[in-house]
């Protein structure tokens, strides 16, 4: 292949000065060249020059962060394209959706892909957070990156919320109505906040335009900045967290076949300034690491193909739903949010102030404070930390289910208003399943912490219980709530 | 701050000049102002002074359109017109929980011993006088002021919330 006339042209082009002015490195054939390439290429310099094989283990990270990033990329591209056929006006938006479905070439596919990538992102950001939590990867020096991650999770939810409002169908209209009404609950600032979100007092053109600007400009810009900092800190904090110990034998350098020319028999490591006052190599044993090119790059490429393939297939086979045109007089019955907000809707159905503002606010603060409560420095990179941690996680997850179901049963059977019709709102707010769930789980986690003398174990109990509780509420909201938010059987 | 050995500030060549501290203080204050001022202006900018929303005064037909002892749903206006022996009342159909439209009033049943309206979004249940019978609604449904226009038609003012005893006698 290298000796045809094409290779002559190719060689001359790649040897020319204009080419070299763009690509500063040639094909990296030696280990030294490969590291230099990673270092000098703008896009590649986001990645380290060498990686530890333990960071490459699929069963350690499950590549969740990277898949999330790829989904974000797909969302940006499909989103930019969809913008060409969308006008954020109440008279137009719904018709634009119909056009995308029936009149625009590949419009349906792009909208479907945008939707499935968005749903996937909501799920994967959360799973990524679970991975980082259960491997204790929030530990110093990565505390603040955990906080950034929580913010990115909130941004993802914000982008989803502002996104599903744009078609201006029934889901959109009543979601804005309910969402902005929740925002009006915090004392003092609530009503102002609602006016700010709606651009007036009523849900209409002003609100649609505001949520559109948030969705396509402000939130993506903030997301981009935070993702950049998030990645930058991963690098500066010493790369991905990883378990100690021997590297798996599976990762071996490719042999001398192909275009790879073995370089000088020497080990290279790039010095980087990380935490501390003196320059310090990011790893103490660089000879254990493998070059990013090709070990990591190849995996990333395959992963991207996989993610894109799955999203395209989902887009081909499953159409994004579109409800009826927004009707400001009648909500659908039942009026259900997308699946990831149904746990929240269930909480809000007990009390808007507690379920929609207080409990979510406390949960977010609690999540952010995890690395500042569990301050141990060592022991990251192991799933559930220990066998005990695994047990606690499992039992917390399982134990929360009967606890939550019990609370819901009590609330349905012996609701406060049924016996005390004149109970003040404060009491109703305070004695609802959301508050009791929050307090019960917090108490349980403190007990676990006391018994095990470990804040890490307390954190595992807390996190697992909340995840279990929220997932359960989500399942209940999805399958067990019917018209008028009454209990129904899913069959 | 006065260093040992240096002349007091009130005398010498520095007399009458602006002190370093005052200059820097003014500078920093100006810098702060240049950030806070526009920020406040930008936030104010986001609150519109003119909105193009529907009217709050609604004409809802003539008194004789409503049979005595009935509750009529006005879907477009999202309210109920209640006519009982005392007169006319306008009950808001906007749920006080999260502003969904609560459903039409239905007859008493095994669970509720009075006629009631249910909100489809989160399951609040309201009585005819607006009371919350069940669910997350934090306060009763609102009553709006009903009046008669000179042309003899009923007018509901959704901006004027009145007590539930406030009745238009016709």
Give the whole-angstrom CA distance, residue B138 versus residue A354: 11
Q: Given a cut of 90, is residue A359 above it in pLDDT? A: yes
SS3 A349: coil
Residue pair A383/A394 in contact by the 8 Å Cβ criterion: no
The Cα diameter of chain B in Å comes to 99
- What pLDDT was estimated at residue A431? 83
Q: Given a cut of 60, is residue A19 above it in pLDDT? A: yes
* Cis amide bond preceding B24, omega within 30: no
Of A201, A334, A417, nearest to B120 by CB-CB distance is A334
Distance from CA of B114 to the nearest CA of A (A): 14
Residue pair A416/A435 in contact by the 8 Å Cβ criterion: no
pLDDT band at A424 (very low <50, low <70, confident <90, very high): confident
Q: At what angle do helices A93-102 and A107-134 cross, to 10 degrees?
A: 100
Q: Write the ipTM.
A: 0.86
SS3 A186: coil
Give the whole-angstrom CA distance, residue A13 versus residue A8: 9
Of A181, A204, A329, nearest to B98 by CB-CB distance is A181
Of A174, A206, A331, nearest to B51 by CB-CB distance is A206
pLDDT averaged over every residue in chain A: 87
CA triple A484-A360-A153, angle to 5 deg: 110
Q: Given a cut of 90, is residue A305 above it in pLDDT? A: yes
What chain A holds in terms of domains, given with CATH numbers, is 51-248+271-379 (1.20.810.10), 384-491 (no CATH)
Give the whole-angstrom CA distance, residue A144 versus residue A275: 14
Q: From the CB of residue A441, how many other CB atoms can be counted at a distance below 10 Å?
A: 23
Distance of CA B86 to the CA centre of its chain: 29
Give the whole-angstrom CA distance, residue A127 versus residue A229: 20
Distance from CA of B27 to the nearest CA of A (A): 30
pLDDT band at A64 (very low <50, low <70, confident <90, very high): very high
Q: Please state the rounded mean pLDDT for residues A119-144.
A: 94
Interchain CB distance below 8 Å, B103 and A333 = yes
Residue pair B144/B160 in contact by the 8 Å Cβ criterion: yes
Phi first, then psi: what are they for A482, rounded to 5°? Answer: -120, -155
Interchain CB distance below 8 Å, A417 and B133 = yes
Interchain CB distance below 8 Å, A205 and B134 = no
Q: Please state the rounded mean pLDDT for residues B16-45.
A: 94
B75: which chain A residues are within 8 Å (Cβ-Cβ)? Answer: 329-330
Least confident of A153-157, A244-248, A300-304, A390-394: A244-248
Percent of chain A with pLDDT over 90: 60
Residue pair A440/A468 in contact by the 8 Å Cβ criterion: no
Q: Please state the rounded mean pLDDT for residues A123-144.
A: 93
Segment holding A280, helix H or strand E: strand A280-281
Alpha carbon dihedral B14, B18, B24, B29, in 10-degree steps, equals: 170
pLDDT band at A3 (very low <50, low <70, confident <90, very high): low
Contacts (Cβ under 8 Å, ≥6 apart) of B49: none
Q: Given a cut of 70, is residue A303 above it in pLDDT? A: yes
Q: Please state the rounded mean pLDDT for residues A208-235.
A: 96
Q: Residue for token digits 């609100």?
A: A207
* SS3 sequence of B112-165: CCCCEEECCCCCCEEECCCCEEECCCCCCCCEEEEEECCCCCEEEEEEEEECCC
Of A178, A329, A177, the residue nearest B80 (C-alpha): A329
- What pLDDT was estimated at residue A227? 97
More reliable by pLDDT, A387 or A115: A115
SS3 A380: coil
Question: Testing the interface with A: which of B98, B113, B127, B131 to mutate, by most A Cβ within 10 A?
Answer: B98
Least confident of A177-186, A315-324, A464-473, B129-138: B129-138
pLDDT band at A358 (very low <50, low <70, confident <90, very high): very high
Of A177, A350, A428, nearest to B99 by CB-CB distance is A177
Of A341, A312, A383, the residue nearest A123 (C-alpha): A341
Q: Given a cut of 90, is residue A471 above it in pLDDT? A: yes
pLDDT band at A428 (very low <50, low <70, confident <90, very high): confident
Question: Testing the interface with A: which of B49, B109, B121 to mutate, by most A Cβ within 10 A?
Answer: B121
- What pLDDT was estimated at residue A48? 86
- What pLDDT was estimated at residue B10? 56
- What pLDDT was estimated at residue A284? 52
Give the whole-angstrom CA distance, residue A137 versus residue A130: 10
B49: which chain A residues are within 8 Å (Cβ-Cβ)? Answer: none
Percent of chain B with pLDDT over 90: 52
Interchain CB distance below 8 Å, B53 and A353 = no
SS3 B89: strand
Residue pair B77/B156 in contact by the 8 Å Cβ criterion: yes
Of A427, A414, A404, the residue nearest A351 (C-alpha): A427
Residue pair A237/A274 in contact by the 8 Å Cβ criterion: yes
- What pLDDT was estimated at residue A272? 54
Q: Given a cut of 70, is residue A168 above it in pLDDT? A: yes
Interior/surface letters A33-68, b for 16+ CB within 10 angstroms, e for the rest: bbbbbbeebeebeebbbbbbbbbbbeebbebbbbbb
Q: Using one digit for the tens of pLDDT, what is the confidence trace for A226-261?
A: 999 999 999 888 888 877 665 554 444 444 344 455
Q: Given a cut of 50, is residue B3 above it in pLDDT? A: yes
Least confident of A154-158, A166-170, A238-242: A238-242
What are B120's two structure tokens?
């489809």
Contacts with A, B 47-106, CB within 8 Å: 47-48, 51-54, 75-76, 78, 97-101, 103
Give the whole-angstrom CA distance, residue A228 versus residue A42: 13
Least confident of A44-48, A144-148, A212-216, A249-253: A249-253
More reliable by pLDDT, A412 or A469: A469
Question: Testing the interface with A: which of B40, B56, B122, B131 to mutate, by most A Cβ within 10 A?
Answer: B122
More reliable by pLDDT, A204 or A8: A204
Distances (CA, A) of A135 to A98, A381, A441, A459: 45, 5, 21, 12
Interior/surface letters B90-102, b for 16+ CB within 10 angstroms, e for the rest: bbbbbbbbbbbbb
Residue pair A241/A135 in contact by the 8 Å Cβ criterion: yes
* Cis amide bond preceding A185, omega within 30: no
pLDDT band at A347 (very low <50, low <70, confident <90, very high): very high
- What pLDDT was estimated at residue B14? 67
Distance from CA of A327 to the nearest CA of B (A): 10
DSSP state of A340: G
Of B120, B139, B122, B140, the residue nearest B130 (C-alpha): B140
Interior/surface letters A365-391, b for 16+ CB within 10 angstroms, e for the rest: ebbbebbeebeeeeebbbebbbeebee
- What pLDDT was estimated at residue A250? 43
């Amino acid at each position: 292949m290298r000796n045809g006339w094409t290779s002559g042209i190719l060689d001359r082009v790649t040897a020319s000065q204009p080419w070299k002015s763009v690509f500063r490195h040639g094909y990296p054939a030696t280990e030294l060249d490969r590291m230099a390439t990673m270092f000098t290429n703008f896009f590649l310099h986001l990645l380290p020059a060498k990686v530890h094989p333990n960071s490459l283990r699929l069963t350690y990270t499950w590549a969740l962060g990277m898949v999330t990033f790829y989904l974000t990329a797909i969302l940006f591209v499909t989103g930019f394209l969809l913008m060409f056929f969308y006008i954020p006006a109440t008279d137009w938006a719904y018709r634009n959706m119909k056009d995308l479905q029936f009149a625009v070439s590949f419009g349906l596919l792009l909208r479907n892909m945008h939707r499935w990538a968005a749903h996937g992102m909501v799920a994967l950001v959360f799973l990524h957070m679970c991975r980082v939590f259960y491997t204790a990867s929030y530990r110093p020096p990565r505390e603040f990156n955990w906080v950034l991650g929580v913010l990115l999770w909130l941004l993802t939810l914000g982008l989803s919320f502002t996104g599903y409002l744009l078609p201006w169908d029934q889901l959109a209209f009543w979601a804005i109505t309910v969402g902005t009404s929740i925002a009006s609950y915090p004392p003092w600032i609530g009503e102002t906040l609602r006016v700010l979100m709606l651009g007036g007092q009523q849900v209409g053109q002003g609100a649609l335009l505001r949520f559109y600007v948030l969705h396509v400009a402000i939130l993506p810009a903030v997301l981009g900045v935070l993702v950049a900092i998030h990645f930058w800190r991963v690098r500066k904090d010493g790369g991905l967290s990883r378990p100690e110990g021997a590297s798996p034998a599976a990762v071996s350098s490719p042999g001398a076949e192909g275009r790879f020319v073995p370089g000088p028999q020497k080990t290279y490591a790039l010095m980087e300034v990380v935490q501390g006052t003196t320059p310090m190599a990011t790893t103490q044993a660089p000879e254990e690491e493998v070059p990013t090119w090709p070990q990591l790059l190849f995996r990333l490429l395959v992963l991207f193909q996989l993610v894109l393939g799955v999203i395209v297939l989902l887009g081909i086979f499953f159409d994004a739903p579109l409800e009826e045109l927004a009707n400001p007089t009648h909500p659908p019955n039942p009026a259900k949010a997308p699946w990831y907000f149904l746990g929240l809707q269930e909480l809000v159905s007990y009390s808007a102030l507690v379920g929609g503002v207080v409990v979510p606010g406390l949960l977010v603060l609690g999540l952010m404070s995890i690395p500042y409560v569990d301050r141990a420095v060592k022991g990251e990179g192991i799933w559930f930390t220990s066998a005990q941690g695994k047990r606690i996680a499992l039992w917390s997850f399982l134990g929360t289910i009967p606890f939550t179901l019990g609370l819901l049963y009590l609330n349905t059977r012996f609701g406060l208003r049924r016996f005390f019709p004149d109970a003040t709102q404060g009491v109703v707010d305070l004695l609802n399943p959301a508050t009791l769930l929050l307090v019960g789980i917090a108490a349980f986690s403190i007990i676990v912490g006391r018994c095990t003398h470990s804040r890490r174990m307390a954190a595992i109990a807390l996190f697992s219980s909340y995840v279990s509780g929220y997932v359960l509420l989500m399942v209940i909201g999805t399958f067990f709530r019917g018209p008028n938010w009454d209990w129904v059987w899913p069959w | 701050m006065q260093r040992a050995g240096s002349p007091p500030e009130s005398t010498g060549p520095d007399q009458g000049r602006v002190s370093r501290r005052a200059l820097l203080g003014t500078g920093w204050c100006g810098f702060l102002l240049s950030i806070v001022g526009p920020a406040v202006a930008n936030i104010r900018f986001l609150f519109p002074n003119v909105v193009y929303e529907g009217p709050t005064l609604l004409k809802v037909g003539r008194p004789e359109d409503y049979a005595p002892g009935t509750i009529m749903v006005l879907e477009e206006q999202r309210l109920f017109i209640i006519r009982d022996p005392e007169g006319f009342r306008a009950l808001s159909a906007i749920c006080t929980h999260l502003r969904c439209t609560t459903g039409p009033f239905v007859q008493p049943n095994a669970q509720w011993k009075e006629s009631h309206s249910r909100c489809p979004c989160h399951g609040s249940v309201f009585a005819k006088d607006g009371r919350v019978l069940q669910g997350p609604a934090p306060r009763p449904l609102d009553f709006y002021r009903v009046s008669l226009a000179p042309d003899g038609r009923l007018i509901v003012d959704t901006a004027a919330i009145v007590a539930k005893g406030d009745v238009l006698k016709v």
